Amino acid sequence: MSEGEKVVKLLGAWPSPFVMRPRIALNIKSASYEFLEETLGSKSQLLLQSNPVHKKIPVLIHGDKPVCESLIIVEYVDQVFSSGPSILPSDPYDRSVARFWAAYLDDKWFPAMKAIAGAKGDEEGKALIQQLGEGLALMESAYHNISKGKPFFGGDRVGYLDIAFGCFLGWLRVTESHIGLKLLDQTKTPGLAQWAETFCADDAVKPVMPETDKLSEFAKLLMAKTASN
Amino acid sequence: MAEQEVVLLDEWLSMFGSRARIALAEKGIKYEYREEDLSNKSPLLLQMNPIHKKIPVLIRKGEPICESLIIVEYIDEVWKETAPLLPSDPYLRAQARFWADFVNKKVGDVGGRIWAGKKEEHEEAKKEIIENLKQLEETLGDKTFFGGETFGFVDIALVPFSPWFYTYEALCNFKVETHCPKLISWAHRCIQRQSVSKSLAAEKEIYDFVIDFRKKSQLD
């Protein structure tokens, strides 16, 4: 059976930015897949079986083989569905730059954003918001250097770094309304403001980008659940 | 810098630096090694890695590549004719990346809590690192290397931690070999390769550095 014929399943949840990444990648490749939604607070047998090490979503199951970790899944999808548009840049240096920024977002930037909700006191909250703002300034600069005047980090099309960063836009909007401050906007980050609009309107992204209102409701639910545990 | 096409900013004891050294050696690439004093970072390092200010940094044609595993992948992609470090099969590639990432999160981070962490944290960190090494032992199984018969990406990600075992063991009072004999044999096999033996710091040197560091930082 050819790679294109094997069944693709994706274990995930609609609010998760990490789950959004492989969904965008699969959409770019026009690859059909079965989306198996996990319920908040419980992990399905299939999830525990396919990702016994981390027990986390997303998990891509291609045929009968599981692939875990969102960015690893994106690279896998790019390689396997080779007839569709490329997601990773073709030049090794450009690839290393894209991977560098994706790692920065996952290791430093997003954890700071997550921590704001649980920040103890003004001091800690302020420091995290500052970190977030500084990170966005870095991404604005990176955007100008990497896109070289084109709409996306990936150039004319949505690419790896667009996916890695763009998946956080929904939660960024939720955070901004929570703190009452815009961090990514026309004045502070004009390049990214335009990019965000273009990214969210893209055909591969629109169907899987959750509405900010729905995410806010979900965030409240999550906080209530965490508080009661 | 024009004379040398490839420069590595590094620090000999760093496991992350070792990864880059091993990859370069596997490919037979000539490069200029520059030792950084991390308490007094060079202007070049600060210029080439302004975000993290960390080593290793590979500089090629004046352009920096940062983060050890990203460097190893870059090296594999540029010098693709010799000694492939990652499998060509997409699924096996994904597996290799998964386990290298596991090493970073579950050995690197936890190991850091041992050598640079307070004594009170050691009991917890010890339990975790043993569990994580056992997971790696299970993944290795009876294979020669993590990828099978060929030395590759996951081996490169993990082997630089093997000279650090001596320090973890001394600080936490346990022996990796008791729990993970296959990993120890695997490490010995890796060290038979010149690319590895020439790239790893000595366990005694690491131990002395850590003891000195712990004294200065009053961690014990």
ipTM score here? 0.96
A76: nearest CB among B51, B60, B94: B94
Do residues B145 and B186 lie in contact, with contact meaning Cβ atoms separated by under 8 Å? yes
CB contact under 8 A, A93 and B63: yes
State whether B70 and A104 contact (CB < 8 Å).
no
Give the integer Cα–Cα distance in Å for B17 and B6: 15
Percent of chain A topping pLDDT 90? 86
pLDDT digits (tens, 9 = 90+) for A123-177: 889 999 999 999 999 999 999 999 999 999 999 999 999 999 999 999 999 999 9
Residues of B in contact with A68 (CB under 8 A): 98
Report CB contact under 8 Å: A93, B67. Answer: no
Q: Which candidate, A176, A153, A185, A182, places its Cα nearest to that of A166?
A: A153
- Chain B contacts of A104, Cβ < 8 Å? 51
Strands A34-37 and A8-12: parallel
- A62 and chain B: CB distance < 8 Å anywhere? yes
Q: Give the pLDDT confidence score for residue A41 in this predicted structure.
A: 85
Give the chain B residue nearest A51 (alpha carbons).
Answer: B98
Contacts for A129-133: CB closer than 8 Å, 24+ residues apart: A129/A179, A129/A181, A129/A183, A132/A175, A132/A183, A133/A183, A133/A188
Tens of pLDDT, residue by residue over A1-32, are 677 678 999 999 999 999 999 999 999 999 99
pLDDT-based confidence at residue B220 (cuts at 50, 70, 90): confident
**B-interface mutation test, from A61, A100, A101, most B Cβ less than 10 A away:** A100
Report, as an integer, the average pLDDT of B112-131: 96
- Predicted local confidence at residue B7, as pLDDT: 97
Q: Is A223 part of the contact surface with chain B (CB cutoff 8 Å)?
A: no
Q: Give the gap in angstroms from C-alpha A163 to the nearest C-alpha of chain B.
A: 18
Higher pLDDT among residues B97 and A4, named by residue: B97
Instruction: State whether A65 and B51 contact (CB < 8 Å).
Output: no
